[in-house]
Amino acid sequence: MKTILSLFLSCFLLSFVHSVTAQDTLRTNVKERADALTARLSRDLDLSGNQSQRLNPIMIKRSNDFKRIRETYGSDPQIRKDSIEEINWQARTSLKKVLTDDQFKLYDILREQTRHQKLLYQQKHPNKRKSEEDEELEF
């Protein structure tokens, strides 16, 4: 009986630690997420070093805004969706100032391709909910 209780307690503590660690990862990886988005856009749009440097603060602000939205409106999907759209619109406006016209057109094409792929995936898997990372990477 003592062994079963110890095993149960160990499993509970392990799941709790895992949950807290996962939440901390979401909260502390703002810069890593912004850096990953900057690297992806730099590669996909063939940005110069100067453009990448100008893009990174935009992505950091965007990631911080996403974090704030998750913490403030996590339980209200409509406000969360509207807020995410506003954040993306602001970032897009800033992005347009950094990119050339051709790069911005390519960005729009890549963005639509990504949205189409995600739509197809959601149609195939209707019960699968988007993760917070997926929401943030939809840019």
Give the pTM.
0.69
Q: State yes or no: pLDDT of 2 exceeds 60.
A: no
DSSP code string of 3-44: HHHHHHHHHHHHHHHHHHHHHHHHHH-HHHHHHHHHHHHHHH
What 3-state class would DSSP assign to 64? helix
Structure tokens at 114: 């990504």
Which tens digits make up the pLDDT trace of 40-83? Answer: 999 999 999 999 999 999 999 999 998 899 889 878 888 988 99
Q: Which residue ranges make up each domain of the chain? A: 2-137
When pLDDT is cut at 50, 70 and 90, the band that residue 100 belongs to is very high
Top pLDDT among 127 and 1 is at 127
